Copies of this chain bind each other. A is one copy, B any other.
């Protein structure tokens, strides 16, 4: 394979709410558009929307169809191209299985968090790792108040908070994905 396959997943379950309870968050139209355009810009293979809620999956599929098959695609072919990267998965594990089928090996899974996490990985380290030609990589981003610890414990690595040394660290997940992809793949 010429180029290392990179995937991103926006996770709506299992995530935390403001009080630290486990929830399934709702999908957001703007997240879908902004992250699809980022995924296309940085040449990712796909952008997974992870939600086990069937009504949310139906909503997402309607939105994708509007922009890929419907009038939206005719009016705005750039959106069509970006939204074409979107895939829906019931769970992180289902996304991993699909990637395994597609690439022939299980992806390395890296999670992001705005909180401190022991032995977290620097962005520059993962950028170097990406430069080597091995397995595919799946990058996880949590919606709401972030990924549940059960996810962080089960992955191959957890990245350091984006601006962890600063006092204020409350970026939208859209901003976090933008900065993350640029740190890993951008600039040159």
Instruction: Enumerate chain A interface residues (CB-CB to B < 8 A).
Output: 30, 33-34, 37-38, 40-43, 78, 81-82, 123, 162-163, 166, 168-172, 174-176, 178-179, 182-183, 186-187
Knowing A163-B186, A182-B182, A182-B183, the reply to whether A175 touches B174 (Cβ < 8 A) is yes
Contact A41 B186 (CB under 8 A): no
CA distance A166 to B38 in the complex (A): 12
A contact face: mostly helix, strand, loop, or mixed? helix
15 more A-B residue pairs beyond the given contacts A78-B168, A174-B178, with a C-beta to C-beta distance below 8 A: A37-B170, A37-B171, A37-B172, A37-B175, A38-B171, A40-B168, A41-B163, A41-B169, A41-B170, A81-B168, A162-B182, A162-B186, A175-B178, A176-B178, A178-B178
A37 neighbours in B (Cβ, 8 Å): 170-172, 175
Q: How many copies does the complex hold?
A: 2
**Distance in angstroms between the alpha carbons of A177 and B81 in the assembled complex:** 22
Whole-angstrom distance between the Cβ of A58 and the nearest chain B Cβ: 24
Which of chain B's residues have a CB closer than 8 A to the CB of A183?
A: 182, 187
- On chain B, the residues within 8 Å of A178 by CB distance are 171, 174-176, 178-179
25 contacts between A and B (CB under 8 A): A30-B30, A33-B172, A34-B174, A37-B171, A37-B172, A37-B175, A38-B175, A40-B168, A41-B163, A41-B166, A41-B170, A42-B163, A81-B168, A82-B170, A162-B182, A162-B186, A171-B178, A174-B174, A174-B175, A174-B178, A175-B175, A176-B178, A179-B179, A182-B182, A182-B183
Residues A166 and B123 in contact, CB atoms below 8 Å apart: no
CB distance from A82 to the nearest CB of B (A): 7
Whose C-beta in chain B lies nearest to the C-beta of A43? B166
A167 and chain B: residue at smallest CB distance: B43
CB-based contact B41/A168 at 8 Å: yes
CB distance from A123 to the nearest CB of B (A): 7
